[in-house]
Amino acid sequence: MPLGEALRAGATCGGSPAALLARIATSVERGRSLSEVLRATTGALGDDEVAVIRAGERGGTVRESVGILVDQLESSDQERRRITAALTYPCLLVVTMMAVMTLMSTVVLPPLADLYASGGANLPPATRALLKAGTFTSAYGPRTLLTLACVVLLVACAYRTSASARHALDRLAVSIPAIGTIVAASYKQRVYGVLSALLASGCDVAEALSLSASAVGNLYVRACIARMRRLVLRGATLSEALARAGLDASGSDVGLLRQAEAIGDYPSAFAQMAAVCAQRRSEAVDRLVATAEPAAVILMAVAVGMSALALYQPILNSAAVLGGL
């Protein structure tokens, strides 16, 4: 089925994207490429996602590229929903804990501390620690929040305006424990999927690497693929290039690629590597979801225990003193 007809068929299904698909179909039927139309359409896809379509157009694998993009967008949306649902309750617990600790240290405990001071008694360590935290919050809390907001704003501006800052932050994004595993596996899944489709269509290895690099928005991952391309042009095999490019820290992908070199089937190897990355991402999401709530509950329990100790220990000490009189 021609691309324009396929888009119009999708528009007939109704729903909110119907009008958008109809406009895209009209532009494609007038001779414009799908990637060009998507790039010019506000709110359709991001630049790196459009690059997946453009790579398919140049390699003659539009259908495969669209399939790769759809699968990844669907899985990303599902995982985003799972993570959001899993982190909502822990975040509420943490916010509640911070509110309780702030109330205790700034409102409840200071009168008790004054009472102890008037009697010449020493406060217990837990109470003193919580009071110091309250004093710091009252004195520096607003300024600390303002400073953090300014830092976040500066980092966001640097990410948008400085290539070196964006490269450093993108590298950090794939290196953070737990979250970095999900981010790195997502980008690698897309890269390997595009490489598989391009190489299966007969595309040159160097060109396939160049096109797949444009399909990711992470500058660090893009630089790793560019390094792979340079190594391949100098005569290195794909497995050697992947091992030296820094994209595969574990070395598992390199092993699959070496097996492919023995039989000369790169497309199947990259397809398998993409599937492995998808599985890694799913497992990383499962681990994050499974540990987020227990960690928040433990943190909440520690905070509540400390607050209770800080509040009741002075009262119990006072009762003991009074009982001894």
Q: Where are the domains of the chain?
A: 3-66, 67-325
Residue 240, token pair as written in the block:
């050697």
Torsion over CA: 135, 138, 141, 143 (sign)? negative
Residue 163, token pair as written in the block:
């290539």
The tens place of each residue's pLDDT in the chain, 325 residues long, gives 666 666 666 667 666 676 777 777 777 777 777 777 777 776 667 777 777 777 777 777 777 777 877 787 788 788 788 888 877 877 887 788 778 777 777 777 777 777 666 666 677 777 778 778 777 877 787 888 899 999 999 999 998 899 899 999 999 988 888 788 888 888 888 888 888 888 887 788 888 888 888 888 889 999 999 999 999 999 888 889 888 888 887 778 888 888 877 877 888 888 888 888 888 888 888 888 888 778 878 887 887 787 777 777 776 666 555 454 4
The DSSP code sequence of 84-102 is HHHHHHHHHHHHHHHHHHH
Burial class from Cβ neighbours inside 10 Å (0-12, 13-18, 19+) for residue 61 reads buried
What is the pTM assigned to this prediction?
0.75
C-alpha triplet 86, 66, 282: angle, nearest 5°:
25
Task: Find, among 208, 192, 207, the residue nearest to 257 by Cα.
Answer: 192
Other Cβ atoms less than 10 A from the Cβ of 18: the count is 13
- Cα(3)–Cα(251) distance, integer angstroms: 39
Kindly give, in sequence order, each residue whose CB lies less than 8 Å from that of residue 89, ignoring residues fewer than 6 positions away: 293, 296
